[in-house]
Amino acid sequence: MDFLTDSSIDDLLSKQKNFFASNQTKSISFRKNALQKLLKACLKYEKEILIALHKDLRKSSEEAFLTEFSFVVNEIKLHMKNLYKWSAPRRVSTPLVLMPSRSQIYYEPLGVSLVIAPWNYPFLLLFSPLIGVLSSGCCAVLKPSPDSKYTAEIMEKIIKETFDEGHIAIVHGEKKENQILFKKRFDHIFFTGGSELGKIVMRAAAEFLTPVTLELGGKSPCIVDESADLKVTAKRIAWSKTINAGQTCIAPDYVLVANDLKEQLMFHINEEWTKMYGGDVLGSEMYPKIIHQGHYNRLLGLIDSDKIKYGGDKNDETLQIAPTILDRVTLDDAVMKEEIFGPILPVIGIKSMEEANHIIQEFEKPLALYYFGNSNKAKNILNKTSSGGACINDAIMHIANPNLPFGGVGQSGHGAYHGHDSFLCFTHKKAVATTPTWIDLPFKYVPFKGFKWLKKFLT
């Protein structure tokens, strides 16, 4: 893979801006054909995509299909099915005082977008926003993470075989190349990754007043009330925490559980991990690896060996860390100072839902929040907390519904995508008022004839 240069990105941007200016992408048939071509290419290279995800993250073919490939394929089909409806101008009501004008919203593509994806779900998190780019009628420069190089290689092959680079292009690079990209003027930037790099993106975008969509992360809490079904709760927490070895932006980061249930919950979560991966978790073909040595070392540094309740095993050669439960954790521990992003689960006992709410408020607004227990109590928690999304009696599953917007709030990001929201993400809603000439009401013109009557009417 060749890394981008200052001159190469200038040439590429010039091609894309010229292509967008030709208005070809505004054709609905052009957009639908682009989506169809992407779908065909993904299906053609399904096997290679799954192999690449295994090489990068040791994901099983089943996990890679369910959590990445199928999401992309179904999202493409959803956009193809709804493209005409979403793209059509939408008529809205017009106030009586403006009659007989007609009011509409036109959906206008933003232009040339920059899409930057992370390494944890490298196929999904690059191609999912790409679908919004295509359906909205934009052009885009795609930038995958260099840490997931095998997936980046197969995605490059797909993009180059499927699209003219004046429409969709893929570029590669590391920190130096990111700095080059951030100095260029795009019409929109879509970034998925960590908060610190998100701030850099925002600062760079401010130079050109470029709109930005940020999909970040945070410490997503999991609350277990006394009314919860403990075994079902344990199974769902265990699964959602170890998908991709915990390297998921919406994985439960820590658990707040009623004191009386804490020991039982920890036991059942560990029991579920054994059921899923067997007695030798690190030897299981179903258990992924940590992406690279740096992240592996960081995670090990978050584990206080004196507080390990279950797990703690590791393999330095394969970069695997067994699912690990930490007990007797305080908010001052290193593991509670930052997003974990790995298979480490701190479990904290609480006396009441009020205490849970107080602990949650100690952190920035998370990308997700999970509550297990009586649904009526859940409403109280949802009303008192702020998060990008939430699940009641489940975890991470809200991401699977394309009819729900996915995005953060505050430090966990802003803007949303998935389904219709992906189309809207890359679209400008243009207000259009059409006024006939067969009547021309005098009250809007100086010297405002009939002002007294108009004032009464308007108030």
pLDDT at 66: 98
Rounded Cα distance between 283 and 317, Å, is 12
List of residues 6+ apart from 361 with CB closer than 8 A: 385
Rounded Cα distance between 71 and 447, Å, is 60
Q: Which residue from 202, 153, 198, 197 is spatially nearest to 175, judged by alpha carbons?
A: 197
Q: Of all residues in the chain, what percent are helix, strand and coil, respectively (each to 5)?
A: 50, 20, 35
β-pair partners for 255 = 222, 347
Label residue 459 by pLDDT band (50, 70, 90): confident
Catalytic residue list contains 48: no
Q: Which residue from 257, 223, 254, 267 is spatially nearest to 372, judged by alpha carbons?
A: 223
Q: Which residue from 314, 379, 376, 371 is spatially nearest to 343, judged by alpha carbons?
A: 314
Q: Among positive and negative, which fits the CA dihedral 250, 391, 309, 231?
A: negative
- Cα distance between the two ends of the chain: 65
Q: Is the pLDDT of residue 104 over 80?
A: yes
Rounded Cα distance between 34 and 171, Å, is 19
Q: Which two tokens stand for residue 25?
A: 């992408």
Rounded Cα distance between 117 and 127, Å, is 9
The burial class, CB within 10 Å (0-12 / 13-18 / 19+), for 304 is: middle
Cβ contact 225:213 at 8 Å: no
Q: Is the pLDDT of residue 448 over 80?
A: yes
Mapping DSSP to helix (H, G, I), strand (E, B) and coil, where does residue 213 land? strand
Q: Which two tokens stand for residue 155?
A: 């995605």
Q: Is the pLDDT of residue 449 over 90?
A: no
Mapping DSSP to helix (H, G, I), strand (E, B) and coil, where does residue 295 land? helix
pLDDT one-digit tens code per residue, 193-224:
999 999 999 999 999 999 999 999 999 999 99
Mapping DSSP to helix (H, G, I), strand (E, B) and coil, where does residue 349 land? strand
Label residue 2 by pLDDT band (50, 70, 90): confident
pLDDT at 458: 80
| Mean pLDDT across 350-370 | 96
Rounded Cα distance between 324 and 316, Å, is 16
Rounded Cα distance between 219 and 363, Å, is 7
| Mean pLDDT across 146-175 | 98
Label residue 377 by pLDDT band (50, 70, 90): confident
Strands (E), 117-243: 139-143, 168-170, 188-192, 212-215, 221-224
Mapping DSSP to helix (H, G, I), strand (E, B) and coil, where does residue 381 land? helix
Mapping DSSP to helix (H, G, I), strand (E, B) and coil, where does residue 309 land? strand
Reported as type and span, the H/E element at residue 357 is helix 353-361
Complete domains list, the chain, with CATH: 6-216+412-431 (3.40.605.10), 221-400 (3.40.309.10)
Q: What percent of the chain has pLDDT over 90?
A: 93
Cα–Cα distance list, 31 to 130, 131, 205 (Å): 12, 10, 27
Q: Is the pLDDT of residue 404 over 90?
A: yes
Write b or e for each residue in 245-270: b if 16 or more Cβ atoms lie within 10 A of its Cβ, otherwise e.
bbbbbbbbbbbbbbeebbeebbebbb
pLDDT one-digit tens code per residue, 46-99:
999 999 999 999 999 999 999 999 999 999 999 999 999 999 999 999 998 888
Rounded Cα distance between 4 and 109, Å, is 26
Query: The tokens 């928690």 sit on which residue?
Result: 381
Rounded Cα distance between 83 and 60, Å, is 33
Cβ contact 37:163 at 8 Å: yes
Q: Which residue from 89, 120, 440, 147 is spatially nearest to 250, judged by alpha carbons?
A: 120
Cβ contact 411:216 at 8 Å: yes
**pTM of the model as a whole:** 0.96
Rounded Cα distance between 251 and 24, Å, is 41
Strands 168-170 and 139-143, bridge-based pairing: parallel
Rounded Cα distance between 349 and 372, Å, is 14
pLDDT at 452: 83
- Residue-wise DSSP of 194-255: -HHHHHHHHHHHHTTT--EEEE-----EEEE-TTS-HHHHHHHHHHHHHGGGG--TTS--EE
β-pair partners for 83 = none
| Mean pLDDT across 126-141 | 99
Catalytic residue list contains 138: no
pLDDT at 98: 86
Q: Which of 63, 156, 177, 215 is catalytic?
A: 215
Considering all CA atoms of the chain, what is the largest pairwise distance in Å, rounded to the nearest integer?
86
Label residue 179 by pLDDT band (50, 70, 90): very high
List of residues 6+ apart from 400 with CB closer than 8 A: 71
Cα–Cα distance list, 213 to 6, 141, 195, 373 (Å): 24, 15, 12, 33
pLDDT at 12: 98
Q: Is the pLDDT of residue 1 over 80?
A: no
- Backbone dihedral angles phi then psi of residue 199, each to the nearest 5 degrees: -65, -40
Mean pLDDT of the chain: 97
Label residue 191 by pLDDT band (50, 70, 90): very high
pLDDT at 451: 83
Q: Which of 249, 364, 391, 425 is catalytic?
A: 249
Mapping DSSP to helix (H, G, I), strand (E, B) and coil, where does residue 418 land? coil
pLDDT one-digit tens code per residue, 14-57:
999 999 999 999 999 999 999 999 999 999 999 999 999 999 99
